Amino acid sequence: MSRLQMTVNGQAVDLEIPESRFLSEVLREDLGLTGTKIGCNEAECGICTVLVNGTPVVSCSYPAFKAAGTDVETIEGLSAGGKLHPLQQAFLDHGAVQCGICTSGLIMTSKALLDEKQAAGELPDEAAIKTALKDTYCRCTGYQSVISAIRQASGQDVPPYIPETGAAGFEVGKAQPNPDALAKIRGTAKFTDDYQFPGMLYARTLRAGVPHARIRSIDVSAARALAGVHAVLTHEDVPGRNLHGIVDLDWPVLCADKVRYSGDAVAIVATDSEAIAAQALDLIRVDYEELPAVTDAMRAVRPGAPEVHEGRPDGNLLKHIKVNKGDVADGFELADVIVDRTYRTPTTEHMFLEPECAIGVPAGYSPADFGGPFDADAARGETAYHDKVSIYVGSQIPYLDRDQAAAALGLETDQVRVVATLMGGGFGGKEDVAGQVHVAMLSEATGRPVKMLYSRQESLLFHPKRHATVIRIRTGATREGRLTAVEATLYGDGGAYASLSEKVLTRATTHASGPYAVPHVKVDCFAAYTNNAPCGAFRGFGVSQSCFAVESNMDILAEQLGLDAVEFRRMNTLDVGSVTATGQTMRESVGLNECLALVDRDMRRGDFQWAWQEGHFKFAWGLAIGYKNTGLGGGAPDKSSAEVEVWARPGEAVCAEVRTTSAELGQGLPAVLAACTAEELGIPASRVNVLLGDTDFCPDGGPTTASRQTFVSGNAARFAAQAVIAQLAPAAAAILECDTAELSFAEGQVSAGDSSVSLHEVISKATDDGVPTVAEYEYWAPETQPLGTGGDMHFAFGFCAQAVLCEIDTRTGLVRVRKVIAAHDVGRAINPLTLEGQIEGGIVMCMGYALSEHFIQEEGRPWTSVMARYKMPGIKFTPEIISHIVEHRTSTGPHGAKGVGELPSIPTSAAITNAIYRATGIRVRSLPVDQDELLLAMRTGGKDAEMGWGHTVPIPDVTLGGEG
């Protein structure tokens, strides 16, 4: 221990701490300044950036004693005195805050830049901003809003980029910051790891480290004997069901007989400190008999492959998914040109910047028992009494977490509570349970709160990824340009456990003829178990994969037919009246042609050329279109419940609260729910509090997946608000002495004819009369039909078109995206500001899919074991984005909205590889693009790039329809 003296946010700090502490630990743990976040602990992501004597440093790797005698500035210091720093205000105004986990890092890095420029009497341009922030990542925004916010904060006149949309209603359609953004920019927003319960223990998980092995024995005796260890649990200690899973129950809570991937959980410990937890893991002895591993989806479904789950009648074949429409033989008979290619997409990683964290709180916990402050009125948090096992976690499906934890604990579901905390990004990667079941078990075993925070490296090892696929697709068209048939065969690597593989790969299959009206379609998809990391939900949900194949073939066909790529698409696009591959007739809300026309118009402005060269750089445009269902579809019950309550407190304007367990992962759902509720009640959205994710206080919003929450929970909020109004109506009618049918509620007033009364007075009267001022509504989305029945498989689809301008350096092969023109048909923009954030972030994420991202596994062992080995796009690679919103409203969505979360992240990759082809004549068939391969092909006159980066074998041959 040594004495550390420094100044933090202007306050003198004097601490006696271990010499080994890093600055982030001192700030977060010793000083409680949790506005500084930790994303990787490997000095890679930059979100922990603080200023030391004005210089940005990554505090996770900065020895605390290096800061001795310095002035340290953190996000909390920026708005000291209550006034927001110009950067904070600009981030708020520009929508540069989404999940919020990277916000303090971005703002502090930007502050150093602004201070430096100000001292030099300069204004930062885009290049300076990109250089300053090149090592600070954001996974949500795509950086355009960050750049414009910084420029505005520096004094430049740069307004927020808000796309044009239809006229706003009272609140719906207005661009406004997400309600939680203010706390995020101040650094006061609490994510799971920011909670410190009195008496809390620290947990860790022992992971297999081998991809496939039988467990002969597990010896935890030495770990249990270690001082400071409170519990060591194995499969023998799981009180209830030792399985979990979103669709299939096949994933052990703790492995008993065998491990099926390197990240499998074998034992868990709860200890006094993280250091002791690490020691305890080292003392656990597991005797493994290693088994041959199968790590390739195509090999996995061949006879004789090692079985991942023994005893399944279909072996490693998780599911054979089929789409059939018409007769493809007839269709190809009609075709004048047929293009037949095989493509490959990589396993990819969500890289949400907040690693998974969960805290279990035991039933009967009072902070007072551990010397902490107790607040009898607190409903949740560190000062509250907890009457049941409670799990604090940032989760996309709180009720399912509750049910799965209850099953593992052997409890009834109402004996477990999930309290959703803010989530630092999810993108589908926080749907399966991570540590939430484990902390519940450990908290019950120890009688203490238990926190389990995954390191970035454990997060990479453990959590489900995006499916790697191999897709052979054969597309036929007449010489006039009419598509006649599509036949495709897909293999998807589901990894060790089912997770959402069946659903994801069903979506890849049903979308495998693209957003086109194709008369004859046959698609076979084989979802396989392997000993790789499980694969599950990931923004785009299978459609990002098949779109790459579909839209590559479309460009090849257009060229072979001698048709313009836009015109060829336009001739075949889905429109109202078209029938999809699954037999669904599109009856409304198909804005695809408008999207295509807008993008085409912008792309062809001026002296348009598809491709040209400047010096040693080749430039070219590439285009792709996409579509994505909203909602679960396929006959799955799809519902969301919301509760709305209103209050009229004396001396205050009317306020309301909307409650549901729909999850906010940075996509802006609270803003949508507040607007939908406010619109019905006729009060400002700023007067609507949004409470998400507490299963004891919020009705079930269902999973936050499939771009569904704006649609289903937006509707649930609307109808719940309408139900409240219906309850208030008799009180209003009594005051106005009229019939309830004559009433109208608008802008804080209730009117009938010429008379009106304030909503405040109506609520007061209703309250006095004992009329409930709260209502719950269970919204059921329009019914859908299972695949194969030919009915409506989905209740809505979003559509989009994207054109990208790529630059290829002929001296290195490096590809950069310079500009993206996008148009998205979202039905209705409930909040154009947060909507634009989804679009820009989705595009940049899909750009990473095309150009840099690959979670590499070598025989079931991740090579991508650290964040430094997985490059998502940084600010330096972000392109200019021009975004159009198209609003072909749905009749059933809230105000016509149909969701947008996944749509932007679907066609970008194909647009990029189509641009690369136009520039170089080389067709990239395997993602991500490898500049090494591309350059060598350019130098040798090659036509094909079929390796991609990170793959070690060429794309395998695929037999259409599968191998027997």
Q: Is 302 in the site for other proteins (CB under 8 A)?
A: no
Whether 34 and 28 have beta carbons less than 8 Å apart is answered as: yes
Least separation in angstroms between CB 949 and other proteins: 5
422 or 947: CB nearest other proteins: 947
Least separation in angstroms between CB 78 and other proteins: 30
Q: Is 851 in the site for other proteins (CB under 8 A)?
A: yes
DSSP track, 262-312: TT-EEEEEEESSHHHHHHHHHH-EEEEEE------HHHHTSTTPPPSSTT-
The 448-467 contact track toward other proteins, x by CB under 8 A, reads --------------------
346 or 514: CB nearest other proteins: 346
Name the residue among 361, 363, 416, 347 with its Cα closest to residue 392.
361
Binding residue for other proteins, selected from 256, 338, 734, 856, defined by CB under 8 A = 856
| Contacts for 513 with CB less than 8 Å, ≥ 6 apart | 323, 486, 488, 521, 523, 550, 581
163 or 874: CB nearest other proteins: 874
Q: Which stretch binds other proteins (CB under 8 A): 373-381, 699-707, 822-830, 864-872?
A: 864-872
Binding residue for other proteins, selected from 230, 319, 765, 871, defined by CB under 8 A = 871
Residue with tokens 């477990």: 416
Whether 74 and 104 have beta carbons less than 8 Å apart is answered as: yes
Phi/psi of residue 611, each to 5°?
-150, 150
Binding residue for other proteins, selected from 782, 936, 954, 962, defined by CB under 8 A = 936
Whether 944 and 937 have beta carbons less than 8 Å apart is answered as: yes
899 or 948: CB nearest other proteins: 948
Radius of gyration of the chain, Cα coordinates, nearest whole angstrom: 28
55 or 755: CB nearest other proteins: 55
781 or 817: CB nearest other proteins: 817
Q: Is 863 in the site for other proteins (CB under 8 A)?
A: yes
Judge if the upstream peptide bond of residue 928 is cis by omega within 30 degrees of 0: yes
**Left (φ > 0), alpha (ψ -120 to 50) or beta: where does 415 sit?**
alpha
Number of neighbouring beta carbons within 10 Å of residue 366: 16
Binding residue for other proteins, selected from 66, 479, 818, 939, defined by CB under 8 A = 939
Identify residues 809-828 at the interface with other proteins (CB under 8 A): 811-814
How many whole angstroms separate alpha carbon 153 and alpha carbon 114? Answer: 8
Sign of the CA dihedral with 56 first, then 60, 64, and 66 last: negative
Q: Is 949 in the site for other proteins (CB under 8 A)?
A: yes
**Angle between the N-to-C axes of helices 398-409 and 436-446, in degrees from 0 to 180, rounded to the nearest 10:** 40
Q: Is 143 in the site for other proteins (CB under 8 A)?
A: no
Least separation in angstroms between CB 161 and other proteins: 25
Least separation in angstroms between CB 856 and other proteins: 7
Q: Is 122 in the site for other proteins (CB under 8 A)?
A: no
The encoded tokens of residue 113 equal 């830049």
Phi/psi of residue 848, each to 5°?
-60, -40
226 or 856: CB nearest other proteins: 856
Q: Is 767 in the site for other proteins (CB under 8 A)?
A: no
How many whole angstroms separate alpha carbon 484 and alpha carbon 516? Answer: 11
Give Cα separations from 883 to 141, 248, 804, 820, 900 (angstroms): 14, 39, 12, 8, 13
Least separation in angstroms between CB 419 and other proteins: 35
Give Cα separations from 326 to 508, 519, 579, 615 (angstroms): 19, 6, 11, 50
Q: Which stretch binds other proteins (CB under 8 A): 162-170, 694-702, 799-807, 929-937?
A: 929-937
Q: Is 55 in the site for other proteins (CB under 8 A)?
A: no
Phi/psi of residue 929, each to 5°?
-60, 135
173 or 813: CB nearest other proteins: 813
Q: Which stretch binds other proteins (CB under 8 A): 556-564, 599-607, 773-781, 925-933?
A: 925-933
Least separation in angstroms between CB 712 and other proteins: 37
Binding residue for other proteins, selected from 517, 919, 935, 958, defined by CB under 8 A = 935
235 or 819: CB nearest other proteins: 819
The 873-912 contact track toward other proteins, x by CB under 8 A, reads ----x-----------------------------------
Q: Which stretch binds other proteins (CB under 8 A): 235-243, 412-420, 597-605, 806-814?
A: 806-814
The encoded tokens of residue 296 equal 């390739």
Q: Which amino acid appears at position 277 of this protein?
A: A
| Contacts for 157 with CB less than 8 Å, ≥ 6 apart | none
| Contacts for 884 with CB less than 8 Å, ≥ 6 apart | 163, 164, 595, 598, 599, 602, 821, 822, 823, 824
Binding residue for other proteins, selected from 870, 883, 914, 926, defined by CB under 8 A = 870
Q: Is 928 in the site for other proteins (CB under 8 A)?
A: yes
312 or 818: CB nearest other proteins: 818
Beta strand extents in 31-122 (DSSP E only): 49-52, 55-58, 71-73
- How many residues bind other proteins (CB under 8 A)? The answer is 25
Binding residue for other proteins, selected from 157, 952, 953, 964, defined by CB under 8 A = 952
797 or 870: CB nearest other proteins: 870
Residues at the site binding other proteins, with contacts judged by CB under 8 A: 811-814, 851-854, 856, 863-864, 868-871, 877, 928, 931-932, 935-936, 939, 949-950, 952
